[in-house]
Structures are given as C-alpha cells and as structure tokens.
Structure 1
Amino acid sequence: MDLIVRKIPQSDTIKVYPVSDVHLGSILHDKEGWQAFCRRVEREDAYLILGGDLINNNTRNAVGSPFEDYIRPREQKKMMVEMLTPIKDKILCAVSGNHEARTARDTDQDIMGDIMCKLDMEDYYAEDIAFLKLEIGRRVTRDIPITSYTMAVTHGSGGGIYTGATVNRNERFGYTIEGIDALIVGHTHKGTISKPKKIVVDSNNNVIRTKQLVVVSCTAWQQYGGYAARKMLLPSSESDHEQPQTLLLCGNKTGTKRITTVW
C-alpha cells in the first residue's frame, strides 16, 4: 500500500466532498441530482474523494438484475468518464466499489482503474483502500508550517440493515488505523457522520490526550427500490446536490488543524 500525497497551495480552508455509490446506469439512479452536483463542483473551489460504486454494472452474476440497468456497463463507464472529465483535477483520490469489483472478479478488468486512467488520474487510485495525505498551504516561514491531514478511504462491506450497526462497524475499523484524521466509507447507503475520540498516551511528553476521528458513511445517488426493497432493507440516505456531505479542512492560514463537517 502506498500513501497518496496531494499538495494544495491555497492556505485557507478547503472544501472536500466525499462521494460514493452513484450507481450510474441503474433505473433508480438520481440522474438529475448527480448532474447538478457535477456542475456545482465545476463552479466551486472544491475537491472530491470517490468511494466506489460510481457505476451500477449489473452483470449476469450480480445480486441485482442486468435488466434493472438502463444502459450497458460499457456505456456506463464511458458516461462516467465524460461527467468527471471537467472536474478531474478536483479528484483527490478514488477507490473501487463492489459493483466495479464484479467485473474484476470475473474478467480481471478493473473498471474504476480504467475510469481513472481515462481521466489521466491513475496515480491517485487504489483498488481496495486509499491512504491520502493532504498538505494544505505554502510554507513561507518556519513559524507557519504546512497543515496536513491523513485520511483512509475504502468502499466498505457488510450489511446495512441498521444505521447504528454501520456506524459501529466503521468506527471499529477506524480505530485499527493509527494516525488518520478521517475515514471515508461507502457501500451501505447509510449517510452518517460521527466523531469518536481515541485516548492517546504521549509518553515522550508525559501527556494523556484525546484525538478525534471523523468517520463519514456516504449517502447514495440512488432512489429506494429494487434489490434493497426485495431484501427489506431500510431506505437509503439519498444524496442532495444542494446540501451534500462536506468536509471543511483548515489550512495553515488559520494556524489550527481542524476538520469541520457540514451536512
């Protein structure tokens, strides 16, 4: 596993949108909302983290039916590339989801990897889990260091029947990774943001303190129905292009390292 390092020269607070489970191609996909969101990102000074399942990719061996997609998987991939091209430079990193992994399992074709290659962003892609380091601001003097944040991004797995179970699963996984400031997870369509704290014993300075971890479970760009309804799963937390999940990361201009969440 490699650390993806992105340097953002602006010294003020930056805006990051964690995005997952778009399911482009599904008959339940929120096409208008997703297109409006892409236009919003193009207008704004904002960045994206892509958490997988960008296309629905219902294959013959999928849990869902291929007939629940309104366009073929190859067209889904092509359309996603076209939508992301105007905002590709705002993508900080990307991982694959279980819907893309179906094709990798059957044919060894990495759909999400193909999308990132088409965007000329393959250096910022990790198939299973991405470790992202953001360096915000320029170091002008020794007294004002660059503010850095470290995040883990993975699509996630497991059932999503109860929201609390999703939160607990994500937080437990977050505790296993030392040194991260945030964990971004998708898959369950349960939109949540939690901020658990971990006790840190600093034996070098003889100090005991707490460190906050921001854990985001991404919303989905898909309406309720189909497989989820047949399995009696709870309705998804649907994404809102007017009020998306947002992370605000303070740069070195403020002199404070802090992640503020807005939703």
Structure 2
Amino acid sequence: MVKKDKIRGIDLIRFLSTPKTLQEISAEFGRPESEMEAYLEKRGKLRSYNLFVHRNDSQKLIYVYDKEKRNELIIKPRVWTYRKHEELPYLWISFPNNLNFKKIILAPISDAHYGSLAHISKKFDDYLNWIARSNNVFGFLVGDEVENCHADSPPGAIFEQMMRPKDQIISFRKKLAPLAHKILFGVPGNHEGRGTKKTDIDPLYFGICEPLGIPYFDEPVFVDILWKTYVFTMYCRHGSGNAQTKGGKINKALQALDFQEHIMFNIMGHVHDPMLDDTPRICRERNFDEDGNLESFRLVHKKQYTIICPSFLSYFGSYGARMGFSPPNTNITTCEIYPNGKYHATS
C-alpha cells in the first residue's frame, strides 16, 4: 500500500465516478479502510458532487460520487415588471422609463404547433433567436404552441406528430427558457385545450409558463403596457372558428372590437393567416387645466390595429393542403410602441 501525501477532492471524485468498495478505495489512496471510511463520512459532498453509499451483491459497502442534479431552467432577470388582477384577466406590464429604446417591438408567438410533422423548425428557431438577441423586442404566447394530439384528437392526428405530447412540452420549454425573461404573458389555444378538457391539465401553463415564470391566463387577456408615462392597450386571444376566406378570418378577429372600449392592438391567432387591419374608433377627447377646468373638447379618430398572427406550419404536407385550403401568407406581424406615445403595427 503506497500512501499518497494528500487526497485531493478531484482525485476522489474521479476515482469514485463508478462504485468502489472500501478495500479498493484504501488500495488506491494508500490508507487503512477505517481511515478512509471516516474520511468519506466527513465528505458527503465535494464541490457539486454528492456521495452515495450502497451495497453490492456481496453485501459489501460501495461508494460513488454523482454530480448534483440542478434545475436546468436558468431564467435571466427581467427588465420589466408586471401586476395581475386577482380575479380578472387583466395585466399591467411596466417597462422602466430609463429604458431608452427608439421603440419597443411586441412580437406574437402563435400557432407554433411544436411537435407537428409540418412544424417549420428553422423559421421558428430564427424567430425566437431574433427575439432573444434584440434588446427592444419582447414576445407573448398566443396559444397552440405545442401540437398535443392524443387518442381523442381528430382521427389520424396522432400520426401527424414527430414526438409524444409530453416530449413536445419538455422540448418546447427548453427552447423557450433562454428568452423566458422576454416573454410578457401567455394564453392557451385549442390544442392546449385538448389536454384541459380531458385531464384538467393545461400543458402550456403547467409544462411551460409556470416553470418559466411567465404570466398566464386561461382566457383572453386585457393588457396595459406602461412606458414613458404612456399607456398602450392590448386585447389578446387565441381565437376560434373555421373561416377559410380572408374576409371571414378578419371578421372573426374584428368581433372583439364590438364589446370593449378603444384598444390599440387587438390580437388573434388560430387561423394561420397573418393579416393586419386598421379600423379607427371615434372617441371623445376632453382636455382639462391643472385646476380641473375644461379647456377643450373634440371628437378624434384613434387607430385600432387588429392583428392576425402567423403560424409556423408548412402548407404542403399539412392537413390544410390535403383539405384544399388556400395557402396562407408567411408575413410576420408585430406591434410597435414609441416613447412619445405613438403606436403602430407592421406586417
């Protein structure tokens, strides 16, 4: 037995990367078994490695170090804060006034259908990378993010997936984690609703948004974005319906304007056909002085942008092509807000 001058932790970790008996450990480090046993008892953890003591088939004690399993989801700190209403789907998002961007771009992430055979992975990855690397770009989830087909889905749908639903959720969460601090909120689509209806488990909430700390609503959400003392308003829902014409799709999206006050951005997904409509609303405007006295009043036309989000599904090889639906365009639609209170939408 050759005694080593000093036992280094790294040497012990390397030697015990596979299970060893006390006899083997004693021979390796040149110390009596009793001494090595006492030594190991004091070193249940070395660096980020934990010591496990088990027994082999001969009932001899065996020792092995294994690297501590840490949470792989490391979420970067946000530059924005949020406040949710306790009972209603109402969200405030506040950007600090010292955030001196020329504009902030709000980019919808809708209808990714991650896990589908028709999912356009390169386009989707490029889009996420653009959000992640652009300081002034922030995303929000509009639903149908995972394909999530199961036995009760439309006939044959389970064969249109490249992976099982649980693997879709895990993989999508890992993909979104590096930019989770830039995702403002999420709402579900009908593909997430499949899980909710059958199991009372919403995969977008439990599998993605909750672990990543993304504010989540299980219904359409009313959003106020606060920046440079201005309030920018948004209404966001996944949408519904089976409209196939351009007019039918935009009319479905415009329905949300019927039951609420002026909103700057009316967002919908679901129909996989990006569109942009600018429907103004006539609003009363009153101006008061510092003492609360009325100075002027007038009627103004305020812009309202209705945005239908694009999907990340290819046309050929998808159910849309087989059904003979018209191919959608592939434009990206975004919302833009400016430090002077102006706002715009692009497609």
User: Is the pair's TM-score, using the shorter chain for normalization, greater than 0.5?
Assistant: yes
**Structure 1 residues 7, 202: closer, same or farther in 2, change over 3 A?**
closer
Partner SS state of residue 75, structure 1: helix
Aligned to 1:74: 166
- Which residue of 83, 102, 120 corresponds with 2:175? 83
Aligned to 1:141: none
Cα shift at 1:202: 4.8
Aligned to 1:207: 298
> What is the TM-score normalised by the length of structure 1?
0.88
Aligned residue type for 1:74: K
**Structure 1 residues 247, 202: closer, same or farther in 2, change over 3 A?**
closer
Cα shift at 1:207: 2.0
Higher RCO (CA < 8 A, seq sep 6+): 1
Structure 1: how far apart are the matches of 2:345 and 2:303? 13
> What is the TM-score normalised by the length of structure 2?
0.67
Structure 2: how far apart are the matches of 1:236 and 1:126? 28
Structure 2: how far apart are the matches of 1:160 and 1:190? 11
Aligned residue type for 2:212: L
What stretches of structure 1 of length at least 5 have no aligned partner? 138-145
What stretches of structure 2 of length at least 5 have no aligned partner? 1-87, 287-293
Aligned to 2:224: 133
Aligned to 1:40: 130
RMSD (CA atoms): 1.7
Structure 2: how far apart are the matches of 1:56 and 1:71? 9
1:185 equivalent in alignment to 2:185: no
Aligned to 2:245: 162
Cα shift at 1:165: 1.2
1:110 equivalent in alignment to 2:230: no
Structure 1: how far apart are the matches of 2:285 and 2:335? 28
**How do 1:91-102 and structure 2 match up within 5 A?**
91-102=183-194
Partner SS state of residue 53, structure 1: coil
Deviation track 1:187-235 (CA, whole Å, cap 9, x = no partner) reads: 0001001110112245885422222111110011010143222332221
Cα shift at 1:52: 0.3
1:248 equivalent in alignment to 2:336: yes
1:3 equivalent in alignment to 2:90: yes
Structure 1: how far apart are the matches of 2:325 and 2:199? 30
Give the fraction of aligned pairs with identical amino acids, expressed as a percent.
25
Number of residue-to-residue matches in the alignment: 245
Partner SS state of residue 184, structure 2: strand
Cα shift at 1:21: 0.3
Aligned residue type for 1:8: F
**Structure 1 residues 249, 202: closer, same or farther in 2, change over 3 A?**
closer
Aligned to 2:345: 261
